[in-house]
């Protein structure tokens, strides 16, 4: 069973490590790059970790987080699901589903009315996961900020 825990400021090292691993393993899935974020200072990571999102753990895989997802309150009743990633050895074990649920619950708990996310064209596994939760295409596309040769599209969920 997947255990979900909110990321705290003191978790900055674990957050840094899993985020950098995600950027190395799946660079086309994110709007940022490993080169950009590896240069962040401890203060940067502490700021990001404070209230950032959620870690997922699978007890049989040890004490390190196996997944990460964040939620950002954008104001006006809208939040953004960001930085969603699951370590390869934990994929297929419903970790992604647990992380999406955590971010949806967080957004609902804040009384928000909509949750948005961006997904890279061709990332069918992520798109299928989000569609299972009721996310639908919002009709917006843009170049992937980390690689403008690729495209990403926005999905949204009414809460």
pLDDT in tens, 22-44: 999 999 999 999 999 999 999 99
How many Å apart are CA 4 and CA 90, to the nearest integer?
14
More confident residue, 50 or 151: 151
CA gyration radius for the chain? Answer: 15
pTM: 0.94
CATH superfamily of this structure's domain 3-158: Gcn5-related N-acetyltransferase (GNAT) (3.40.630.30)
At a CB cut-off of 8 Å and minimum separation 6, what does 24 contact? 34
Please state the domain extents for the chain: 3-158
Closest CA to 70 of 90, 91, 47, 92: 47
**pLDDT band at residue 50 using 50, 70 and 90 as cut-offs:** confident
Q: Is residue 1 scored above 90 in pLDDT?
A: no
Tens of pLDDT, residue by residue over 52-110, are 799 999 999 989 999 999 999 999 999 999 999 999 999 999 999 999 999 999 999 99
Measured CA angle at 34 (ends 31, 35), to 5 deg? 110
How many Å apart are CA 97 and CA 12, to the nearest integer?
23
At a CB cut-off of 8 Å and minimum separation 6, what does 5 contact? 54, 55, 57
């Amino acid at each position: 069973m997947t255990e979900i825990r909110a990321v705290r400021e003191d978790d900055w090292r674990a957050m840094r490590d899993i985020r950098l691993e995600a950027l190395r393993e799946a660079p086309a899935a994110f709007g940022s790059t490993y080169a950009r974020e590896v240069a962040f200072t401890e203060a940067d990571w502490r700021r990001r970790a404070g209230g950032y999102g959620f870690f997922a753990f699978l007890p049989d895989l040890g004490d390190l987080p196996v997944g990460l997802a964040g939620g950002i309150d954008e104001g006006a009743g809208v939040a953004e699901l960001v930085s969603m990633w699951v370590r390869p050895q934990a994929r297929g074990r419903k970790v992604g589903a647990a992380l999406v649920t955590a971010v949806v619950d967080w957004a609902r708990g804040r009384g928000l009315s909509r949750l948005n996310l961006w997904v890279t064209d061709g990332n069918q596994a992520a798109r299928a996961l989000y569609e299972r939760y009721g996310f639908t295409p919002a009709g917006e596309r843009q170049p992937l900020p980390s690689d403008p040769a690729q495209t990403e599209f926005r999905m949204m969920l009414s809460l």
